[in-house]
A and B are shown apart, each in its own frame.
Chain A
Amino acid sequence: MSYDVIIGLEVHVQLQTQTKVFCGCSTAFNPQAPNTQTCPTCLGLPGALPVLNKKAFELAVQTAMGLNCEIPLFTKWDRKQYFYPDLPKGYQISQYDLPFSRNGHLDIPPATDGDTPIRVRILRAHLEEDAGKNLHDESGRGAGSMIDLNRAGTPLVEIVTEPDLRNAMSARRFLEELRLLLVYLGVSDCNMQEGSLRCDANVNLHVHGPDGTKIPTPIVEVKNLNSFRFTEQAIEFEVARQWEQYQKTGQTIHDAPKVTRGFDPDRGMTYALREKEEAADYRYFPDPDLVPVTVTEEQLSLWRSRLVESPASRRERFRQEYGLSLYDAQVILDQGVLFADYFEQVASQTKDGKQAANWLTQEVQRVLNDRRWTLTEFPFPAPALGHLLSLVSTKKITGKSAKDVFNLLVEGDEPEVVTSETIDATIAERGLALVEDTGAIDMAIADVIGRNPKAVQDFRSGKQAAAGALIGQVMKAVKGADPQSVRERLLKQLEG
């Protein structure tokens, strides 16, 4: 007997606003000062009224547009009622039947060149408020739980996928692509440590019956996964556990209700959460405190026009236009929008994507890491690097010299901003320009051959290594000669 794994994800993303979604309190991550970013609205005090943060709505719409969702022209707010200590009002302001977006998709990029992307449909994305944070007494003395409401009211977009994922690794790769997209759109910092991106995974199996039918097993929701690796591990564990369970009990989706489980990263296992005796009943109803939001087609097309290019589109362009491998394209994309922009500026100037990619992923990244610089602090602007690389590809200087110039110009505590002129001046100063005067090179070769009969004889009797010493002498005599061309011309004279 075999089975298919069926996975759907619910991802909660904190939007990068200054203030909360329905009040003016700061959204700064501030666990050192609990309960200092609250007001009557986010505390749920009587008489306080929520007012929608315009920026939160705009970021939410951009998120949905990045996920290729439809954006209806009308959306409204609903109350989701449940009691939990981190939810001061006794309900969460969320969206139920008319979310601001639906029916999108995000493609998981191919893992290697030649593979095809996997499409994951997005059922909906809606905007809601985050809850506060519960802090548990670690001493175990059971004094009680402590609540910090700084986070309560932070804008969240909940993204719900269709159950289109078929294994744990795809789930992780989907989340990585989603994270990249959100960071490129600039809608969230996606800081997992600070809980800016959290995931719930719905997992079950479709067991292949003997008569070709598919038997769905009960759905399990693994809650609050705060890392991509944990998500992958939790799903892997669930698949094995559910298969074992099915073989033992034969229970299908019709015999048992959906259950929720937690994940213990230390043991790499999921565990049962306390079951409620009945299915959750949130009694959603329209929030009378908030009026609906309407948008116009004009507004939507304006927002759409301002949307930055998606990583997926850039990845494809980097491969098509600049001839990069999937791997190189990904390495550059993973460094963020500024780095990808920098790459494109250099590559479009030099018309050699591969060379630009090699330089960026090796020299530039090494310096950025060593010096702990961000790209904005990096003293080598793209046009300057483009100029330097063009000198290499037009054989004005060697690749080795280019690296020397590069390293020289980024030295020091606060190096000056590099320009084409400073590059040219450094090359001139150091005599690094390649000598193109083939006559001078040939004369130097003839001279070196004349003065080194022993080495010449060694070479002619088959000792290839002897050529190295001769090349060295020629290079010394003609400063700035291209070693490749010296080698070719020397071999021609020796063999001729």
Chain B
Amino acid sequence: MSLSAKDVEKVARLARLRLNETDIEQYAAQLSQILDYAAILEAVETEGVEPMVHAIELANVWREDEILTSLPRQQALQNSPAQDGKHFVVPQILDAS
């Protein structure tokens, strides 16, 4: 399977990655190889096999509705690129309103 430059551009845009022409060409080739490798699985006969939803055969892992201690605000904010002591600060969100 061969990915086009357009496919790569779309995936990059969705992942907010900025790629140049060379990157795109390189990734198109590499990602195509990865897809080809995964395509080996298509040879497996899956007729009558239930789709697998999860790699672990486990269900119903719960927690009770009990409050646990939250992080102190300073710790919650500490890795943020920008903050005002109370909030995470991000570049102005532009709504059309």
Other-chain contact of B54, A145, A149, A264, A291 (Cβ < 8 Å): A291
Q: Which B residues from 73 to 91 make CB contacts under 8 A with A?
A: 73, 76-77, 79, 82, 84, 86-91
Give complex CA distance A248, B89 in Å: 44
- Taking a contact as CB atoms under 8 Å apart, the answer to whether A145 and B89 are in contact is yes
Chain A residues whose CB sits within 8 angstroms of the CB of B76 once the complex forms: 35-36, 38, 43, 149
- Taking a contact as CB atoms under 8 Å apart, the answer to whether A262 and B93 are in contact is no
Binding site secondary structure of chain B:
loop
Answer yes or no: B64 CB below 8 A from chain A CBs: yes
Measured CB to CB, the residues of A under 8 A from B are: 17-19, 23-26, 33-40, 43, 45, 51-57, 76, 81, 83, 85, 98, 134-137, 142-149, 262, 264, 271-274, 278, 281, 283, 286, 288, 290-294
- Taking a contact as CB atoms under 8 Å apart, the answer to whether B67 and A262 are in contact is no
Give complex CA distance A216, B91 in Å: 39
Give complex CA distance A135, B55 in Å: 40
- Taking a contact as CB atoms under 8 Å apart, the answer to whether B61 and A17 are in contact is no
- Taking a contact as CB atoms under 8 Å apart, the answer to whether A262 and B97 are in contact is yes
- Taking a contact as CB atoms under 8 Å apart, the answer to whether B97 and A146 are in contact is no
Q: Min CB distance, A261 to chain B, in Å?
A: 9
Q: Min CB distance, B34 to chain A, in Å?
A: 16
Q: Min CB distance, A76 to chain B, in Å?
A: 5
Give complex CA distance A136, B97 in Å: 12
Answer yes or no: B49 CB below 8 A from chain A CBs: no
Q: A23-B68, A24-B68, A35-B73 are in contact. Are A146 and B63 (CB under 8 A)?
A: no
Give complex CA distance A52, B58 in Å: 13
Give complex CA distance A36, B75 in Å: 10
Other-chain contact of A51, B58, B61, B72, B87 (Cβ < 8 Å): B61
Answer yes or no: B65 CB below 8 A from chain A CBs: yes
Chain B residues whose CB sits within 8 angstroms of the CB of A76 once the complex forms: 53-54
Give complex CA distance A286, B86 in Å: 34
- Taking a contact as CB atoms under 8 Å apart, the answer to whether B59 and A294 are in contact is yes
Chain A residues whose CB sits within 8 angstroms of the CB of B69 once the complex forms: 24
Chain B residue with Cβ nearest A275: B96
Q: Which of B59, B70, B86, B97 has the most A CB atoms < 10 Å from its CB? A: B70
Answer yes or no: B94 CB below 8 A from chain A CBs: yes
Answer yes or no: B16 CB below 8 A from chain A CBs: yes
Measured CB to CB, the residues of B under 8 A from A are: 10, 14, 16, 53-56, 58-73, 76-77, 79, 82, 84, 86-97
- Taking a contact as CB atoms under 8 Å apart, the answer to whether A36 and B60 are in contact is no
Chain B residues whose CB sits within 8 angstroms of the CB of A134 once the complex forms: 93
- Taking a contact as CB atoms under 8 Å apart, the answer to whether B87 and A262 are in contact is no
Known: A57-B62, A291-B58. 18 other contacts (CB 8 A): A19-B68, A24-B67, A25-B70, A26-B67, A35-B87, A36-B76, A43-B76, A51-B61, A52-B61, A53-B64, A54-B65, A85-B93, A145-B90, A147-B87, A272-B96, A278-B10, A288-B54, A288-B55
- Taking a contact as CB atoms under 8 Å apart, the answer to whether A144 and B92 are in contact is yes
Give complex CA distance A54, B63 in Å: 6
Chain A residues whose CB sits within 8 angstroms of the CB of B16 once the complex forms: 83
Chain A residues whose CB sits within 8 angstroms of the CB of B55 once the complex forms: 288
- Taking a contact as CB atoms under 8 Å apart, the answer to whether B96 and A135 are in contact is no
Chain A residues whose CB sits within 8 angstroms of the CB of B97 once the complex forms: 262, 264, 271
Chain A residues whose CB sits within 8 angstroms of the CB of B90 once the complex forms: 85, 144-147
- Taking a contact as CB atoms under 8 Å apart, the answer to whether A294 and B60 are in contact is yes
- Taking a contact as CB atoms under 8 Å apart, the answer to whether B96 and A271 are in contact is yes
- Taking a contact as CB atoms under 8 Å apart, the answer to whether B56 and A135 are in contact is no
Chain B residues whose CB sits within 8 angstroms of the CB of A288 once the complex forms: 54-55
- Taking a contact as CB atoms under 8 Å apart, the answer to whether B60 and A19 are in contact is no
Give complex CA distance A274, B94 in Å: 9
Q: A43-B76, A273-B95, A274-B96 are in contact. Are A18 and B88 (CB under 8 A)?
A: no
- Taking a contact as CB atoms under 8 Å apart, the answer to whether A145 and B91 are in contact is yes
Give complex CA distance A332, B84 in Å: 49
Chain B residues whose CB sits within 8 angstroms of the CB of A39 once the complex forms: 68, 70-71
Q: A18-B65, A24-B66, A291-B60 are in contact. Are A35 and B92 (CB under 8 A)?
A: no
Chain A residues whose CB sits within 8 angstroms of the CB of B92 once the complex forms: 136-137, 142-145
- Taking a contact as CB atoms under 8 Å apart, the answer to whether A17 and B65 are in contact is yes
- Taking a contact as CB atoms under 8 Å apart, the answer to whether B93 and A136 are in contact is yes
Give complex CA distance A135, B54 in Å: 38
Chain B residues whose CB sits within 8 angstroms of the CB of A137 once the complex forms: 92
Other-chain contact of B66, A18, A34, A272, A291 (Cβ < 8 Å): A18
- Taking a contact as CB atoms under 8 Å apart, the answer to whether B14 and A281 are in contact is yes
Chain A residues whose CB sits within 8 angstroms of the CB of B73 once the complex forms: 33-36
Q: Min CB distance, B22 to chain A, in Å?
A: 24
- Taking a contact as CB atoms under 8 Å apart, the answer to whether B66 and A146 are in contact is no
Q: A35-B87, A291-B54 are in contact. Are A53 and B62 (CB under 8 A)?
A: yes
- Taking a contact as CB atoms under 8 Å apart, the answer to whether B53 and A55 are in contact is no
Q: A18-B65, A43-B76 are in contact. Are A26 and B60 (CB under 8 A)?
A: no
Other-chain contact of B64, A55, A98, A278 (Cβ < 8 Å): A55
Give complex CA distance A476, B50 in Å: 89
- Taking a contact as CB atoms under 8 Å apart, the answer to whether A291 and B96 are in contact is no
Chain A residues whose CB sits within 8 angstroms of the CB of B70 once the complex forms: 25-26, 36-39
- Taking a contact as CB atoms under 8 Å apart, the answer to whether A18 and B67 are in contact is yes
Leading 6 A-B pairs by shortest Cβ distance: A24-B68, A146-B87, A55-B65, A54-B62, A147-B88, A85-B90
Other-chain contact of B88, A25, A35, A292 (Cβ < 8 Å): A35
